Chains A and B, each alone.
Chain A
């Protein structure tokens, strides 16, 4: 237990951890503040003003149309060709209708907590996952590269226990940060919804759905932290994790995408990690095999492949487990020089 507490203290004392936490807080606060200014509550006065603007737009459009018809008639009377300039029947067929000027279009944007907060959970998860990745990688990477790990092993010559305790300290810290910031993030958007938007139609079911989104966000953040930690420990340097991240992105999102397209592999996106990240948050992603269709021969229903969040859990879970096992195996077997 003393080692676990020590590692928590060590992680909290690190300058990078503190700096990244401040940057994360500032970033999230910035997003919430900017969003607060872009959302406007739809009071009866605002709705009435939008209706009035809509009516005025209709009237302006009607007047312009009437002038255009009159100009066309005058030109026709002078014997000019008018079809090219005014269209058939002197544009009489295009008379503006009141329903074409929906007052909704003149309403300012209003944040709908029920409909949109799910997207902001994904935004939050992305930001915290990046924080977790860098903190997880640098915590053990810097320990290896500065000799801290060796020093610690002279005190606690149980390699797996030391690495496991360090991982537990990282995951605990990241979990704590995610839960606390997640609560603040939810509160901030609830307040934005209350004062600058709407929180209408919130039911226990919606909250439960947000809760599940939050759990998936926590899972993703923890997986990022664990993978970064394991990669940095395998390479015994922070740069190993960062390099691997860049390599995976280049291979998966660029290389594989191009290769699948060139080879014409059906549902090639199922081999891309971003597809699984998308389905993790959106619960499912539907892929279509448009290449199978020959639209020249008529209507076609392309083949479909559904990627669910359970598939994503399997892919990310297995990937995380493999990297972690490799890191612990290397810790057990490799000499420390």
Chain B
């Protein structure tokens, strides 16, 4: 497949006499294939927005390579800018202009036909309110306007930073459908969001960033599979047999992660049939043997080490860095 977006070894360092040196991006890599909806995930302060701003020419990188649609950035950005639609962080517009004026001025700056403004207003559901001043809009409506401004160019690559921010449940579902439709029509979408359930539903592939480095990447199902850790839930016919079963399994080298009142949780089980056989040999009969599917949220929390711990208050920047002890292994299908 063709790569629409390629980033290799991207670095951005902020130096301050008072605060010292901070690596916002520390050799970050990313690759997005054409026609995909790609999720871009990371904790607060991990470098997501810095990456997007750097891609879009707003921040000057200290090193690394970037390319969009085969053009090297930032040198060729003016050439490809017309094919990239983007919103970065929260939507910001001049509050006293109407949505129609805002889009009309952008369309005029980009030499686009005026009717395109009405098309995108219709697309994001703002047609009826297009004549009102932006300052009267709710956050969700501003978000819709931001998406409309990004779609105005009918881009080949759409980059959206938190597009569902402030949207009501109906709006989130509309946005999800819109992303899918756009991708089905050949548009590549890069989606940065903290709503991991949405990302799992919408995206074909993901990149997870932590402290400026990529910690996981690849198709969503492969990333999930790589971090499922062979978890299995076991129930027996007789609940009273659970301690004996736990001992038998542990004795055979199976990792028992939890003994619950009515079931056992196992980890690292490659072949669930082994469990059935081991227990049957002890005269213990299985009533349920179910692989436990992980979701993107648990993978994210594990990889970035940002899961809440009772009694602790995690600070921004307290997350996982690739190469540190305890770091989650990278996975995926893009290769090194």
Contact = CB atoms under 8 A, between A and B. Distances in A.
Interface of A: 2-3, 5-6, 9-10, 13-15, 142-143, 146-148, 150-158, 333, 335-337
Nearest to A334: B60
Nearest to B60: A335
B57 A5 contact: no
B110 interface: yes
B94 A158 contact: no
B109 A156 contact: yes
A5 B108 contact: yes
B333 to A, nearest CB: 31
7 contacts: A13-B105, A14-B96, A150-B88, A152-B109, A154-B56, A154-B58, A157-B57
Nearest to B84: A154
Contacts of A2: 108-111
A156 B58 contact: no
B149 interface: yes
Contacts of B77: 157
Contact of A148 (B78, B92, B108): B92
Given A151-B149, A155-B110, A336-B53, 17 more contacts: A13-B105, A146-B92, A148-B92, A148-B94, A151-B92, A151-B93, A152-B106, A152-B109, A154-B58, A155-B109, A155-B153, A156-B109, A157-B74, A333-B60, A336-B58, A337-B53, A337-B58
Contacts, number: 74
Interface of B: 53, 56-60, 74, 77-78, 81, 84, 86, 88, 91-97, 101, 105-106, 108-111, 149, 153
A3 B109 contact: yes
Given A146-B92, A156-B81, A157-B81, A151 B106 contact: yes
A150 B52 CA distance: 13
Contacts of B97: 13
A270 B110 CA distance: 49
A158 B92 contact: no
B41 to A, nearest CB: 21
A147 B93 contact: yes
A333 B59 CA distance: 9
A9 B93 contact: no
Nearest to B79: A157
Contacts of B81: 154-157
B78 A157 contact: yes
A151 B91 CA distance: 9
Contacts of A158: 78
A146 to B, nearest CB: 5
Contacts of A148: 92-94
Contacts of A337: 53, 58-59
Nearest to A162: B109
B212 to A, nearest CB: 16
A156 B81 CA distance: 7
B106 to A, nearest CB: 6
A267 B37 CA distance: 72
B59 A335 contact: yes
Contacts of B74: 157
A10 B57 CA distance: 23
A237 B86 CA distance: 24
